[in-house]
A and B are shown apart, each in its own frame.
Chain A
Amino acid sequence: MLKQGLKPLRHGAVLSMAALAVLAAACTPGSDGDKPAAKAPSSVNTDIAKAGDVTLTVWDQEVRGGQNEQMERLNKAFQDKYPNVKIKRVSRSFNDLQKTLRLALSGDSPPDVVEANQGHGAMAQFVKAGMLLPLDNYDQVYGWKKRYPKGLTDLNSVSPDGKKIGTGGLYGVSINGEIVGIYYNKDKLSGLGVQPPKTWADFERALATAKGKGETPIAFGNLDKFPAIHNFGVIQDQLAPKDAVRRLVYGQGGSWTDGPNVQAAQKLSDWVKAGYFTKDANGVKYDDSPVNFSKGEGVFLIGGTWFAADLYKSMGDKVGFMLPPPAQAGGQPTTMGGESLPWSITAKSKHPDVAAAYINFISSPEAMDVSVETGNLPALAAPTKKPQGPVFTDIFGAWDVLSRNDGITPYLDYATPDFADALGGPLQELIAGRTSPRQAMDKAQQNYATFLRK
């Protein structure tokens, strides 16, 4: 009898022990975050040589060829200048870094300097949780905001409560630039008897001509869901004022169902119906589109400057790059783009002054020369170096134009943490002809409004 009674009792004991254990560990998850206090500018130590022996742990995602080389050279130069500083570099792919960073930052001894991505998915959340050091007082010493155009420092700014991006304190500095533009196949264009378009109307005429002569006007792969955002964004930038786009992405006003945005979706849908894109683009991988383009499919390719190195390798002088042409010839072009991941200082870093000096070093004019030498697009004009290869010359020229007239709009997927999905999905449906432009924008707006309400 006793034995039989023991069994349920034992179950009960196990359960209550488990419950106890849960309660013991059950201080609210993530409850130990205090807002970091910034140092007064007067107490910032810029004399790093006198900082004593310091090991600076740096987490970056610069694993690809040219970028890796850039960081290795900059790190070496910094350590040569300050032999008392040792840089411990941890390099991971973009995705790996994004996933591991959360855990690392919430731990007790996070790295000193990290590349935290812009937008609501990463930087804004880290700021909200008090894991990144505001850099404004370091900026008063080093003058980063004077060094960079406002559009670029805004990208790395977040309001202290983490609710708004593109405004508030500075939380990082980027060193390379990137923009979405239009690549073109020079041979195909001359075969069609078409000059590189100077106006948006020229561009649309060129698309019609290409279609008429049996070419695929624009190589496009949208299996990965997000790529249509680039095409949509380029069209949107020609229909909506850049400030409206910025406000919209930064959550400072406007709606995705506003006239110009719906028109942009309409235009995208029109282009699909006119056969201007690769057939069945929703079934083609994003990474395959530059490959197909280099093999001769498509007269144009709408894509980021990150394609340039590969395209130059396979097409050489045959590939050109241009900004989306403005409405009037000679007008000011606008396109989406931005800068590489920002370098930020963690709130719990034991050597914030050294970290700030490091960030200042890798974003200095000399560092911009290193960026060019290693085949990257520096965020600021390099003082002495010029790039090799015509497509890179095109890109540098384009970046220069945009920087001078402040023509860069932020990536649309910064708008909410999962906007790549929330806008990319509806755009896929639009491209498949399953929704109207208005419905697609309604869906995006739903996600956006829900996020803003939080």
Chain B
Amino acid sequence: MTLAARPKAATTAERRERARGRGGRGAGRPPGEPRRIGWLYALPALLVYAAFLIWPLLHGAYFSLFEWDGLSPGTWTGLSNYSKALSDPTLRGAFLHALVLVVFYAVVPCCIAFVLVAAMSRSKIRGLTFFRTVLFLPQVVAMVAVAVAWQWIYSPGGPINDVLRWLHGLGLPDWSRGWLGDFTWALPAVGLIGTWVQIGLAMVLFMAGVQKIPRELYEAARIDGAGPVREFLAVTLPGLRRELAVALTLTTIAAMRNFDLIYLATSGGPGDATKVPAYEVYNRTFNTGEVGLASAIGIIIAVLIFTFTVLIGRFVEGRDR
């Protein structure tokens, strides 16, 4: 049996099973159970969901059709808030920044977490729980504390610049600067904070996933003479598709709705270099009194997140349809 065949076969089997499940909905439903009563069970949750999620969402969508300052009567403007959100250079820039942050929040952490997990799954490490906890910790720390701590780390007198100045002393160019105040580096600097926060989440998900990959696959891989890289590509990666999808979904959402870090660390500055849509939702609602525009931005964020989620589901998890 070739290495790649096993996981693939499993996926096909799974698909078939799922397909059978779908077909069974109409014909072979479990006996003695009218389907409609199922809705009754779900009703309380549905009501809460409708009241606190669907209703506000519709309300927001409705507000987005008005020019409204949040206080005095609004005027109906149709879709002009949406065209403004997409044509205003500041706001367009904000969406662009959000896409850059997706790389830092989602792509980079997942890659790093893969490396960590590959290392941990191959060899037995003493005190694994300890390392796992330490790597997960950034997820637990409140964003306020994260922002304040990193402001200090990036500050001109902070540890990063201390090291850079020390390197400068050894003959390297002087790379030290106020990172969060630098027009070129502020966005990547904020992004790296996100990377630091999200690695733990991705790693914990992958660790859990690795444990459910059958040991025999690894043994088979080793018998076939696969090195660490081959083993990772042929066994670990395919086995972690679902976890990868979950991790990418969660981290992408975190990137797209990233507000607190920007608000606390840079207020969108220097200039507009780190402005993101979620910050603009807040800014336009509370500072400039453009509630309609803010709602439109919020709806666009929601649509983008939804699109990303669908795409990730389709391409990473391999869900068809």
Contact = CB atoms under 8 A, between A and B. Distances in A.
B183 A417 contact: no
Interface in A67-122: 98-99, 102, 105-106, 121
A432 B183 contact: yes
Interface string B66-83: 101111111110000000
A288 B286 CA distance: 26
The binding surface of chain B is classed by DSSP as loop
Contacts of A12: none
A223 B156 contact: no
Contacts of B182: 280, 282-283, 432
A224 B148 CA distance: 12
Nearest to B156: A280
Given A22-B58, A131-B71, A281-B178, A418 B76 contact: no
B181 A125 contact: no
Given A3-B26, A29-B74, A283-B155, A418 B179 contact: no
Interface string A16-39: 001001100110111101000000
A285 interface: yes
B180 A283 contact: yes
A140 B287 CA distance: 33
Interface in B149-189: 151, 154-156, 177-183
Interface SS of chain A? loop
B139 interface: no
Given A18-B58, A280-B156, A280-B178, A224 B267 contact: yes
Contacts of A416: 288
Interface in A98-156: 98-99, 102, 105-106, 121, 125-126, 128-131
Interface stretch (A183-191, A234-242, A389-397, A423-431): A423-431
Interface stretch (B101-109, B123-131, B269-277): B269-277
A280 B189 CA distance: 15
B265 to A, nearest CB: 8
B313 interface: no
Contact of B69 (A28, A125, A432): A125
B286 A283 contact: no
A222 interface: yes
A30 B269 contact: no
A126 B291 CA distance: 15
A225 to B, nearest CB: 4
Contacts, number: 138
B259 interface: no
Most buried by A among B62, B155, B181, B269: B181
B249 interface: no
A28 B75 CA distance: 7
B68 A282 contact: no
Determine which residue in B26, B54, B183, B270 has the highest number of CB atoms from chain A within 10 A of its CB, and name it. B270
A128 B71 contact: yes
A225 B66 contact: no
Interface string B243-265: 00000000000000000000000
A25 B62 CA distance: 10
B289 A417 contact: yes
A418 B268 CA distance: 13
A30 B72 contact: yes
Interface in A189-244: 222-226
A102 B286 contact: yes
A385 interface: no
A102 B62 contact: no
A428 B181 contact: yes
Given A102-B70, A102-B71, A283-B154, A223 B269 contact: yes
Contact of B270 (A18, A125, A428): A428
A126 B289 CA distance: 11
Interface string A270-308: 000000001111111100100000000000000000000
Contact of B156 (A29, A105, A279): A279
A283 B156 contact: yes
A223 B179 CA distance: 10
A432 B55 CA distance: 46
Contacts of B272: 425
Interface in B20-42: 26
Contacts of B270: 225, 282, 425, 428-429, 432
Interface string B42-72: 0000000000001100110011001011111
Contacts of A424: 269
B302 to A, nearest CB: 16
Interface centre among B55, B71, B74, B289 (most CB of A within 10 A): B71
B296 to A, nearest CB: 14
A121 B288 CA distance: 6
Given A121-B287, A125-B71, A225-B267, A25 B181 contact: no
Contact of A418 (B181, B266, B283): B283
Interface centre among A28, A280, A417, A426 (most CB of B within 10 A): A280
A40 to B, nearest CB: 26
A434 interface: yes
A428 B186 CA distance: 13
A283 B76 contact: no
Contact of A421 (B178, B179, B268): B268
B267 A284 contact: no
B293 to A, nearest CB: 12
A285 B270 CA distance: 12
Nearest to A443: B271
B71 A126 contact: yes
Nearest to A440: B271
A33 B271 contact: no
27 contacts: A22-B59, A25-B59, A26-B62, A28-B73, A29-B73, A30-B73, A33-B71, A33-B73, A106-B70, A129-B72, A223-B269, A224-B269, A225-B268, A283-B154, A283-B156, A283-B177, A283-B180, A283-B181, A284-B178, A417-B289, A418-B288, A421-B267, A421-B268, A425-B268, A425-B269, A432-B182, A434-B183
Interface of A: 3, 18, 21-22, 25-26, 28-31, 33, 98-99, 102, 105-106, 121, 125-126, 128-131, 222-226, 278-285, 288, 416-418, 421, 424-426, 428-429, 432, 434
Given A282-B270, A283-B156, 14 more contacts: A18-B58, A21-B58, A30-B71, A30-B73, A121-B289, A125-B69, A128-B72, A223-B266, A281-B181, A282-B181, A283-B178, A425-B272, A426-B271, A428-B270
